[in-house]
Structure formats: structure tokens, C-alpha cells
Structure 1
Amino acid sequence: MDVRLLYHTPDPERAIAAAARLCYSPAGAAELMEDLSDEAVRRVLKTIITSGHLSALEHASYTFAIEGVSRALTHQLVRHRLASYNQQSQRYVRYDLPPEFIEPASVEGDRQAHELFVLATEAAFDAYRKMLDLGVPPEDARYVLPNAMETKIVVTMNVRELLHFFELRCCKRAQWEIRALALSMLDLVTPTAPYLFFDAGASCRRGPCKEGPMTCGDPYPRAERRD
């Protein structure tokens, strides 16, 4: 899995604070961006986060390039609808060489399961290639390709959606591959806005587990209180 932060709103914490402060200030947002002290920025962020007025968080966004993941992962990822996606198309990209297939550790660690996985993925790609040779369009031949096939996707989320994504997908009950993606994305965004993301992640970082009776029983360490 290769996850890279392509771009993010410059100075996201200040941008969000200026947008939020605009509601109560006679000054314009551009002026506020320049005049707010670092202490004032954190004070405004603390107010909107603790009060639950999270719409201002939507003014900062992050764009990621993600490779080396399966289509099983991206089927889950695109269910987060408040985001923008561009994914490598199996309709327009023709695969002439065997692609990478993402193999779960539970399969790879079992000799018989691994052999079955290799046989199945090789057979699927062999069928795909033979259909192309018969003149079947790639958009139809792709129907035999499995969820394990590697794909590439560009994702843009605003901070509000990222926090929601991290709460659901950093949880230890999340499927292993999308959890690894979420943790990688969290590692990338935290240095850019440490105050916004310092307690981001599964709900157990901030309080009781929201999974109720389905809890894993192994919570993350609780984050320190926000200053």
C-alpha cells in the first residue's frame, strides 16, 4: 500500500478558524486570516469543536494518491459519500501483463489457502486475457476480474469528513485493509494540523466505544484533553 498526501489547504487550522470567526466579526475573512494570533486560532477551534459546530471544518480539504490497494477496499471507501474520487478505470485501462493481487495475511499465511488464491487469481486473469484475444471489449472482459485486483485512486475529503472517516475506519473492528489505509492517512494529516487531528481516530480515543456490545474490548490509549 502506497498512500501519499498530494495537496491540502494551506494553513488549514487558520483557514478554518477565520471562516468560523467571520460569523461574529465585522472584519472580512482575509483580514482575519492575517490578524488572528496562533492562540486565537486554537481558541476558536476549541470552541467550534467542543460545541459541535463542525461546518467550518469543511473549509479545509486534503487530497491523497492511493495505490497498491484492492478493489475490495475501494468498494468500502467510496461509501463515504462526502468525498471526491477518481479511480483507475477497468473499462478504459487494458491489462496486458498480470496485475498485482492483494492477498490477505490470513490467506497468505495458510499454505492451502494461498495456493487456492493464486490458482483463482491466475485463472481469472487468464480468462480476461483470452476474452480480449477473442475481441471482447475490456469493459466486458473485466467482469471476471476479482476484488483482489490492485487499483489506484485519488481521494479528496474535507476535515469534517476525514474525522468521521477516521472514527469509523481506524477502529480495530474495521476491515484490516481499509483500517491500514485510514491509519496511514491519519499519520499524513496530523503534522499539517496537529490541533485538529490530535485525538482523531476511533471513538475510544476520546471516550466510550461507540460499538456497544460489538466492542473489540481493546481500546486505543485515550488522547490527552485538548488545551
Structure 2
Amino acid sequence: MDMKVELIAYTPEPEATVAAAARLCYSSRGAVGLKEALTDAEAASLIKRLISMGHLSPTEHASFTFAIEGVSRALSHQLVRHRIASYSQKSQRYVDENNFSYIVPPSIAAQPDALELYRKAMEELREAYRKLAGVVPREDARYLLPNAAETKLVCTMNARSLYNFFRLRCCRRAQWEIRELALKMREEVRRVAPVLFALAGPSCETEGICWEGEFSCGRAREVRSRGVAADGGDDLGA
């Protein structure tokens, strides 16, 4: 099952909103007047300066809402650890999971014997769930459902929370599924706020610094050797 991520709502003119909020702190004018007076170039310049100085509180005024499908419960358990966010998730208590879909990790999909064993176990769990759900409430039958079970959710974060999310979860050491999610989410927000998220990503990519110590993948050295930070790109196979 393919992961699907779609940005379904966001603060109108997010970059202008953040810039106006920042300028308000040092102006006698109101936020509406400041926002209307800002040019795109001025907003971009101010946002770059804010981020470079680490003054991130104005970015909290821009929020982004994502519709996420084709991910596992194993992923959602990681995602909700990012607590400055709002979540709505498909309920296994009320939704019939007789034929639940499931996520197959690439390492399993690449090995025929492992894949056969995995699929067999999932079908056995499906059958056990069907039988149990016929005699007990679904809220109790769901205890059989695996971490692999597919789920759907809506997630809303402000830009500052997204910076933290991308810093941790776009890292190559992040678990493969949530890293794929983070990269897709970053791609979505960069479409509507490219300046605001130009420097969003792991520290190796944005600063040429890695905090993983002996577990470092070495990318920070590559970035430093090129003399480039925030190259803005990465692929899922990296």
C-alpha cells in the first residue's frame, strides 16, 4: 500500500503572516496594515533573518494540516510523540477491521520467504479478528491487530513544530516509514511556503553538523566539503 500525504489546509499567505507577526513586535502599526504593506521580497528577507537568528516564535502563527493515508500504526505511535500538534486518527474501536490492510516493510518485501511468512501471519490475524469480533466488542477484538495495520489520520502542526519534526525525522537514522512521511510532508509545505521551509531538515543538511555521534551517516561531512547548507534535496533511497 502506497503512502499518501496531502496538504489539505494551511494559514492563508503563511509567509506574509509570519513576517507581519514578527514586524508587529517592533511597530506601532497593526498586524493587518503591516501585512498589507509587506512585499513578497520584504517578507522573504525578514523570514530568512528570523530563521538565521533563531527567532522562531513568529513561525508559530502559520499552521498546516495534512491528510495521511497508507501508514502503519507503528508510524502513528511515533508521530504522536510530537506533542505540539493536533491529531485525528481512524478508530479501531468503531471501524470494522475484518479485512484490515497492512504495511509491508521494504526489508521484508525484498525477501520472498520473509514476505510469505509475513503475509501468512497477517492472514491468520485477520481470521482471528473476524472470529473474535463476532463474539466480543470490536474494542476488545482490536487487541489482536498488529502494528502493521494501516491507518489514516489528519495532522496539524505549526511551522515551528514542523521545523523540529523535519529536523528529527528527515534524518537518515530515522525509522524508514516516518522518514518517508516527513520527506513527503516537507515537499508539501515547500510548495506553498518555500522561503519559510527552505532551511527545514536535519542539521547535517541545514548546518553541516550532525548530532548522532558514532552513528552519523557521514552526510554532514559531505555538506561541509561542498560548502553548502540547506541544499533542500534528499531522496527516499538515500
Q: TM-score, normalised by structure 2?
A: 0.90
Partner of 2:197: 197
Displacement of 1:211 in angstroms is: 1.5
Write the mapping of 1:108-119 to structure 2, written as runs, cut at 5 A. Answer: 108-119=109-120
Distance 1:53 1:199, change over 3 A: closer
- 1:80-120 residue CA offsets vs partner (Å, 9 max, x unmatched): 00000000000111123x22110011111112211211111
Say if 2:93 and 2:142, in contact at 8 Å, map to a contact too. Answer: yes
Q: 2:60 pairs with 58, 61, 84, which one? A: 58
Q: Which segment is superposed worse, 194-203 or 59-68? A: 194-203
Q: Does 1:13 align with 2:19?
A: no
Partner of 2:137: 137
Distance 1:94 1:38 in 2: 49
Q: Does 1:101 align with 2:102?
A: yes
Distance 1:110 1:46 in 2: 46
Say if 2:72 and 2:103, in contact at 8 Å, map to a contact too. Answer: yes
Computed over aligned residues only, the root mean square deviation of the Cα atoms, in angstroms, reads 1.4
- 1:39-68 residue CA offsets vs partner (Å, 9 max, x unmatched): 321232123212211111000010000000
Partner of 2:42: 40
Distance 1:206 1:138, change over 3 A: same
Return 5+ residue gaps in structure 2 as ranges: 232-238
Partner of 2:126: 125
Q: Which segment is superposed worse, 113-122 or 85-94? A: 113-122
Provide runs of 4+ in structure 1 moved above 3 Å.
Answer: 218-225
- 1:157-184 residue CA offsets vs partner (Å, 9 max, x unmatched): 0000111101111111110000000011
- 1:122-181 residue CA offsets vs partner (Å, 9 max, x unmatched): 1111111101122x0000000000000100000000000111101111111110000000
Partner of 1:211: 212
Partner of 2:234: none
Distance 1:224 1:204 in 2: 9
Partner of 1:223: 229
Pairs aligned (count): 223
User: Equivalent pairs: percent with the same residue?
Assistant: 55
Q: TM-score, normalised by structure 1?
A: 0.94
Partner of 1:173: 173
Say if 2:204 and 2:219, in contact at 8 Å, map to a contact too. Answer: no
Displacement of 1:212 in angstroms is: 2.0
